[in-house]
Amino acid sequence: MTHTATPNSSIEITVNGTRLSVSANHSLIQALWKTGHPNFKSASCLEGVCGSCRIMVKYHDQPDVSMALACQSRVEAEMQVVFPQYLEKQSSTLLNHRYQLQLSSESEQQLKRTFPEAAHCRHCHGCTVACPKGIDVEQGVKLANEGKLAAAGDLFINCVMCDLCSTSCPEDIAPNYVALFARRTSAFNQPTPPNLANRLQALQRGELKIKY
Amino acid sequence: MSNGIPLEQARQAYRIDLKRPLRPSAIDNQKLLQDFHPDYANNSHAALKVGVNCNDPCHPQLVALLQSNSATNEAMLATATQIESDVLVIGSGGAGCSAALIAAENGANVLIATKLRAGDSNTVMAEGGIQASIEDNDTPQAHFDETLKAGHHCSDKRLVEQMVLDGPDVIQWLIQQGMQFDRDGEGNLCTRRAGGTSADRVLYYHDYTGLEMMRVLRESVRQHNRITTYDYSPAVELLSNKDGHCSGALLYSIETQQYTIVKAKSVILASGGLGRMHLNGFPTSNHVGATGDGLVLAYRLGAQLQTLDSFQYHPTGLAWPQTLAGTLITEGIRSAGAQLVNSSGKRFIDELAPRDVVSAAIMRECAEGRGIRLESGRQGVWLDIPTLEKQQPGRLAQAFPKFIALCNKADIDPYRSPLLICPTLHYQNGGVVINEACETTIPGLYCAGEVSGGIHGKNRIMGNALLEIISFGRRAGAAAAARHPPSDSQLLLDHLKAFRHEIKSNHIASNTQGPLLFPHYASFSRRGT
């Protein structure tokens, strides 16, 4: 068990360029709250599933910057943190794709039409490195480009739509949205589950009334 | 209150045990609730002094919120930018998104105003699943009966009837939106059993049911050309016309500190619950924005509320480590077979009894000296994961990735060490009174999801929240879009004047400003207030 630091001990960190003295043994979000540091826009679920508290973080003993979720990160002395801004939705060319879910015979063509830039992947690994959930994002794009939509989508089970992969792509691919397209298309194209279909038919026949 | 056994000692004493007997209870469930459930405690009872629910029982912290001061004034309205939409949806969780999608599909222009980022909600955190009666050995009637029974027969039967009959169609609609569910080898939807029920009726996607739902709905909303979303723009007041009907809302931008008036023929409140009020000092499983805003706004406008003294304390909130206190561990894990064990290694309750009963049973173990004590004095009991893993090796890792991520974050090896849990404030059972079309008692104001009341009575079963938000969200969207625009669409604060007058004449001096928008520890304040 690594919860050894006493709760009251104080450490120094840098957040968005500001030096802060925070209590050890807290998540970054909890520590910021304790300092009164305003971060209303970048915390919601605190369970690592909403993606709102994404950060770029550099630990003093590591050479590289990594991506993480602040609610899932414990404060460490001399860590440097930036909360990156989200893309402006309306102005972004990244997030202007539109599609209607269609039958699978159409889906490969639809992917190419909807996300033409996906084919331009230069395999730089930027997206994969950027993912705070450890998803092999680049492989997902590759599988989608090969028409293997179900396999591509399955790689993204843990995706919280934090958009960091989209932000990091030099070709303006939005990999998490490509993957979501793949996931949704796969779900849409699975045969109706027999148990659900049976029940829907029984309801339509009016066989299942409620009595009280 | 007895002390229990210190954590380290209890951890040393813990053993995997495949045959733990269940200790028969000497008291019945009703007595258990009376004596140990927080809803029944002395500090949970007060009555409202003003408004349409005057004299109704209500939790004292909620009384203070509902009778709080409003910071809204005429100057804010005068300087605000005004925009117009057919339908305004407040909140962007599952209820808000499904309401917006259906309203837009029915031709309405929709504006979603949400306090945080689109989709930040309790929905995204939902793990257990969604109820729908689809198995051969199950019926909507059983779903209906068990929802009523678990809720202590305090539900509005018409609402429950409609919801359980909607169930299968809700699932079909979600699949058509592109949502995945776990399926068996024959393509059937997998089901599991919720506490307090007799049939496998909870459908799920791993322990990410809410995340999967929210990914899909948020994307549908984002792509819809008749829906606009305002992020970081909580509603801080509802507005009314001369007849007292809802005609819009005042929004406040957390980013720009500016106010915006939205004029709308219909307003749908889908603003969720209030776990971040930490009733009775409990930790909560809720997201940061769950501060009961919708109840305050609706009550000031004169909407009737109900069941304001009943809240769900989910049995299995993480109790240790302290920094993660309150984080939910899904009921799905008990449904899969995990047992609750006290400090002497004994089971003390049917783990799949209704949630309020299981929580009361845990509180009883702690109160009677059979709990496990933290240095802070708080107590909990074990959720016995290692024994489950021994019985069903590999099940957890495969079916509960979110749970495994939580254990990693907590530095707990769940295969070797049991988890210390205690009840966590999870859900607001009551809320705004609605009818089958999600209309409140105020024309023009609709409600869907946790902010509304009447469906779960005094205790909700697992999976009925996700069903409720889609079933009623869709209906709210359809009804709001179909509403005939009123002839008078003025945007006034007359209802607020009347409410303030009532507060003043009752000599209530509140030092609370509502809506809260954020929990106190987030140190938020609105410009000019």
What is the rounded CA–CA span in Å between residue A165 and residue A177?
Answer: 10
* Locus of tokens 């240790």: B320
**What is the pLDDT at residue A88?**
63
CB atoms within 10 A of CB B422: 27
Contact B172 A196 (CB under 8 A): yes
| H or E segment and range at residue B432 | strand B431-432
Backbone angles phi, psi at B519, to 5 degrees: -65, 155
Is B307:B128 a contact under the CB 8 Å cutoff? Answer: no
Sheet holding A80-82: strands in order across? A18-23, A10-15, A80-82, A54-58, A66-69
Residue A157: strand, helix, or coil:
coil
Is B496:B239 a contact under the CB 8 Å cutoff? Answer: no
Tokens of B55: 């004299």
Is B243:B444 a contact under the CB 8 Å cutoff? Answer: no
Helix axes B209-223, B464-482, angle to 10 degrees: 20
* Locus of tokens 């009943």: B310
Chain A residues whose beta carbon lies within 8 Å of the beta carbon of residue B105:
none
> Could you give the residue ranges of the DSSP H alpha helices within B264-351?
293-301, 331-335
**Positive or negative, the Cα torsion across A41, A42, A45, A49?**
positive
DSSP character string of B248-306: EEEEE-TTT--EEEEEEEEEEE-----GGG-GGG--B-S-TT-S-HHHHHHHHHT--EE
| H or E segment and range at residue B87 | strand B81-90
Q: What is the DSSP-derived secondary structure letter of residue A1?
A: -
Is B489:B263 a contact under the CB 8 Å cutoff? Answer: yes
Closest A-chain CA to B126: A49
Q: Which residues contact B45 (CB under 8 A, 6 or more apart)?
A: B57, B59, B60, B309
What is the rounded CA–CA span in Å between residue B204 and residue B210?
Answer: 9
A84 touches chain B (CB under 8 A): no
A160 touches chain B (CB under 8 A): yes
Average pLDDT, chain B: 95
Instruction: Write down the architecture of domain B5-36+316-425 according to CATH.
Output: Alpha-Beta Complex (3.90)
| H or E segment and range at residue A163 | none
Contact A195 B188 (CB under 8 A): yes
**What is the pLDDT at residue A92?**
61
Chain B residues whose beta carbon lies within 8 Å of the beta carbon of residue A86:
117
pLDDT tens, residue by residue, B206-225: 999 999 999 999 999 999 99
In total, chain B counts a number of residues equal to: 529
Q: Closest approach of chain A CAs to the CA of B183, in angstroms?
A: 8
Query: Using CB atoms within 10 A of its CB, is residue B69 exposed (0-12), middle (13-18) or buried (19+)?
Result: middle
pLDDT tens, residue by residue, B350-389: 999 999 999 999 999 999 999 999 998 999 999 999 999 9
- Give the residue from B450, B447, B480, B481 showing the smallest Cα distance to B468: B450
What residues 198-227 of chain B have any CB closer than 8 A to a CB of chain A?
Answer: 206, 208, 210-211, 215-216, 218-219, 222-223, 225
Q: Closest approach of chain A CAs to the CA of B465, in angstroms?
A: 17
Q: Which of B135, B173, B184, B219 to mutate to test the interface with A (most CBs of A within 10 A)?
A: B219
Contact B169 A200 (CB under 8 A): yes
Contact B328 A160 (CB under 8 A): no
- Give the residue from B245, B98, B243 showing the smallest Cα distance to B174: B98
Q: What is the DSSP-derived secondary structure letter of residue B442?
A: S
Q: Which residues contact B400 (CB under 8 A, 6 or more apart)?
A: B206, B207, B330, B332, B333, B336
User: What percent of chain B is predicted at pLDDT more than 90?
Assistant: 91
CATH number for domain A10-82, candidates 3.40.50.620, 3.40.50.300, 3.90.480.10, 3.10.20.30: 3.10.20.30
What is the rounded CA–CA span in Å between residue B238 and residue B492?
Answer: 9
Q: Closest approach of chain A CAs to the CA of B24, in angstroms?
A: 33
**What is the pLDDT at residue A4?**
43
* Locus of tokens 């939705």: A89
Nearest to A210 among B132, B165, B223 (CB): B165
Contact A41 B125 (CB under 8 A): no
- Distance, CA of A86 to chain centre: 12
Helix axes B464-482, B94-105, angle to 10 degrees: 30
DSSP character string of chain A: ----S-TT-EEEEEETTEEEEEESSSBHHHHHHHHT---GGG-S-SSSSS-TTEEEEE-TT-SS-EEEEGGG-B--TT-EEE-PPPPPTTT-STT--------HHHHHHHHHHH-GGGGG-----HHHHH-TT---HHHHHHHHHTT-HHHHHHTTTT-----HHHHH-TT---HHHHHHHHHHHHHHHSPPPHHHHHHHHHHHTT------
**What is the pLDDT at residue B269?**
98
**What is the pLDDT at residue A3?**
42
Q: Which residues contact A113 (CB under 8 A, 6 or more apart)?
A: none
Residue B190: strand, helix, or coil:
coil
Beta strands B81-90 and B69-70, pairing class: unpaired
Nearest to B208 among A157, A208, A211 (CB): A157
Tokens of B304: 């009737």
Tokens of A84: 């990156």
What is the separation, in whole angstroms, between the first and last Cα of chain B?
42
**What is the pLDDT at residue A55?**
95
Is B34:B299 a contact under the CB 8 Å cutoff? Answer: no
**Positive or negative, the Cα torsion across B108, B109, B114, B120?**
positive
Nearest to A200 among B135, B172, B328 (CB): B172
Q: From start to end of B321-405, where are the E strands?
A: 339-341, 372-373, 379-384
Contact B124 A210 (CB under 8 A): no
What is the rounded CA–CA span in Å between residue B55 and residue B133?
Answer: 39
B442 touches chain A (CB under 8 A): no
Residue B311: strand, helix, or coil:
strand
Q: Closest approach of chain B CAs to the CA of A206, in angstroms?
A: 11
Chain A residues whose beta carbon lies within 8 Å of the beta carbon of residue B402:
47-49
Is B217:B177 a contact under the CB 8 Å cutoff? Answer: yes
What is the rounded CA–CA span in Å between residue B311 and residue B318?
Answer: 18
Instruction: Write down the architecture of domain B74-310+429-482 according to CATH.
Output: 3-Layer(bba) Sandwich (3.50)
* Residues of B with a known catalytic role: 314, 334
Domain-wise residue ranges, chain A: 10-82, 104-189
* Locus of tokens 């449904």: B335
User: What percent of chain B is predicted at pLDDT more than 70?
Assistant: 99
* Locus of tokens 């303006």: A172
Is B328:B314 a contact under the CB 8 Å cutoff? Answer: yes
Mean pLDDT value across residues B249-264: 96
What is the rounded CA–CA span in Å between residue A37 and residue A29?
Answer: 10
What residues 232-251 of chain B have any CB closer than 8 A to a CB of chain A?
Answer: 232
B411 touches chain A (CB under 8 A): yes
Q: Which of A195, A200, A207, A208 to mutate to test the interface with B (most CBs of B within 10 A)?
A: A195
Size of interface A-B (CB pairs under 8 A): 175
Side chain identity, residue B408: N
**What is the pLDDT at residue B489?**
87
Is B504:B497 a contact under the CB 8 Å cutoff? Answer: no
pLDDT tens, residue by residue, B93-146: 999 999 999 999 999 999 999 999 999 999 999 998 999 999 999 999 999 999
Q: Closest approach of chain A CAs to the CA of B195, in angstroms?
A: 22
Q: What is the largest CA-CA distance in chain A?
A: 67
Q: What is the pLDDT along chain A (212 residues), one digit of tens a residue?
A: 334 445 568 999 999 999 999 988 889 999 999 888 777 788 999 999 999 999 999 999 999 999 999 999 999 999 999 998 877 654 466 778 899 998 878 898 999 999 999 999 999 999 999 999 999 999 999 999 999 999 999 999 999 999 999 989 999 999 999 999 999 999 999 999 999 999 999 999 999 999 99
* Whole-number Cα distances in Å, B462 to B24, B148, B352: 24, 13, 10
Q: Which of B170, B287, B412 to mutate to test the interface with A (most CBs of A within 10 A)?
A: B287
**What is the pLDDT at residue B2?**
61
Q: Reply yes or no on whether the pLDDT at B264 is more than 50.
A: yes
Contact B171 A180 (CB under 8 A): no
Contact B222 A49 (CB under 8 A): no
Q: Closest approach of chain A CAs to the CA of B430, in angstroms?
A: 22
Contact A185 B178 (CB under 8 A): yes
Tokens of B293: 């805003």
Closest B-chain CA to A186: B178
- Asked whether this complex has an ipTM greater than 0.85, the answer is yes
Domain-wise residue ranges, chain B: 5-36+316-425, 74-310+429-482
